[in-house]
Amino acid sequence: MMLRPLSLALLLGVAACKPATDPKLACTQDAEDSTPTPAGAKAFVQKANEELKRLWTESSTAEWIKNNFITDDTERNAASANERLLAYQSEAAKRATAFKGLPLDAETARMLYLLRIASPVLPDPEKRLEMTTLAAGLEGHYGKGKDPKGRDLEVLSNIVRTSRSYDELLDAWVSWHDTSKSQRAAYQRFVELQNEGARGAGFTNMGDMWRAGYDMTPEAFEAETDRLWQEVKPLYDALHCYVRGRLQQHYGKDKIPDGKPIPAHLLGNMWAQEWGNVYGLVEPYPGVAKLDVTAALVAQAWDAKKMVKTGEAFFTSLGMAPLPPTFWERSLFTKPADREVVCHASAWDVTYSNDLRIKMCIQPREEDLVTVHHELGHNYYYQAYYKLPVLFQAGAHDGFHEAIGDALALSMTPRYLTQLGLAPELPADPKVVINVQMKDALVRVAFLPFGKLIDQWRWDVFSGKTAPGDYQKAWWALRQKYQGVASAVPRGEDAFDPGAKYHVPANVPYTRYFLARILQFQFYKSLCEKAGHKGPLHECSFYGSKEAGAALQKMLAMGASQPWPDALEALTGTRAMSGSALLEYFAPLRAWLAEQNAGQQCGW
């Protein structure tokens, strides 16, 4: 069946106009008068919401199918759907600029702002299709990636997660990173098209367009992320120093010298973004507290559905509604044996009408239990705002969306895990506190510089500061600068190591995750206060608190209808993002690390 192209009248929104006898929705642009008016702006955004809901649903449906059935056909189908969406968004973004400077009501002005920053503008349909085809191919290649031995990311990640052999780890790490080599040229062309589309939308490059989505100028936003990083960097530096010292004891100083970066393949994660899997090598007080949640999940034969039901139960304990029945019918919880899928965990509202789903290859692991809570945080955000106009169906900014489930995961205290039967009753011992905080910091604190540097690399690529011939050099320079990690073997410019991280080929902005690691502690502290918690912050669980749930639901229901400082203030009482709650949470560990690192050669 051949679909008719959208008409110019529809793209410009004038189809929503009524005859001039209706003063509320009078047409404002006709042969006699082409001057934009407030009434015309209101009619335009009304029609844009209708069309975008239809096109976003069409696009997300195609993306869902492509992610769950990776074939050339599904990639082509998704590319076509996204091209149609991009065509409309391009025209809508251009049209929205015509209303700048008019005296508009706050809701209409907000919608026009969101339209202007939503999409690159590529008038040429051939280039639009080329860009969406490249996007589908890059993501599809990642999902299908295998090394010469036929090992995929799941197999290779399990080696990195569990092995303690230096050479075996290096082989798995190199094998996965080499799968992205062939995508370098495609990514370079994709960047060119993205930048062309950003210029069409009135931005210098795509990096500026991304940064404009935070209710501040791109320059101010970059300065804000730098400020937040400097706030939390001393804690990361202390953790890095301690972990490097412990890894030296296992692998030797010949492999990990003093004052040098840590080899990226030794930190228990394919991208060295979270270090929780090396806890056994760096445990402060071995044997003081059994914290092996993964072993408990395996021993008790927890399956994927039970893990998801446990996540849902946390939200419902706060007074929120259960997930709809269709969630359980339509989600993907485990990796199918009969087809290729993108296992990278994600949450969806496919039709923007409470059609909630997750897509995840769940295994009985602690990190997967945490990820379940994270993904359900997205779902409950979707559920809170799905009745808003579709332009407002988003987080206050994308970092908010990523922080919700993780704020709940902070409430997965040892006491909560004991309630679930996944941890024994732990004694009131300061050594237990340090062990628990170390385990937590290896995930939440270790991630911070990685969360910042991914987009720093892309901003530099988009701006031209990093030329295509320097992709690798710039990537590893940032990995060393921010994380203090490095490749143990030379990685020449024939490689494309950024492409070995899902969010780069999938073109998903990443600063949201850095902001989320800051915001989740702000949200958590506020929700603990609403729940009436007294005592050290790290001991709080607001599980079961209807007061905390009501406060959270109020913020979630705002969606993107207000600038993010308004949403932040609604929950926390402050309008500024801050790392102070994170530092308060880890106060015991910070003091302990200072003692442990005394006399050590820290830094890199």
Q: Which residues are catalytic?
A: 344-345, 374-375, 378, 402, 503, 513
DSSP secondary-structure letter at 347? E
| Per-residue tokens: 589 | 């560990």
Residue 161: count other Cβ atoms within 10 Å of its Cβ.
18
Which residue type does 232 have? V
Dihedral class, residue 150 (left if φ above 0, else alpha if ψ from -120 to 50, else beta): left
Q: How many CA atoms lie within 13 A of 123 on its CB side?
A: 6
Residue 572's nearest CA partner among 525, 540, 536 is 525
CA 455 to chain centre: 12
Q: Are 429 and 287 in contact (CB under 8 A)?
A: no
Q: Are 47 and 65 in contact (CB under 8 A)?
A: no
User: What are the C-alpha distances in Å from 188 to residues 288, 379, 453, 508, 541?
Assistant: 51, 34, 19, 16, 46
Distance CA 543, CA 560 (A): 26
Give me the residues paired with residue 356 across strands: 349
Distance CA 54, CA 38 (A): 25
User: Of all helices (H) and strands (E), which one includes residue 189?
Assistant: helix 184-200
Q: Are 361 and 335 in contact (CB under 8 A)?
A: yes
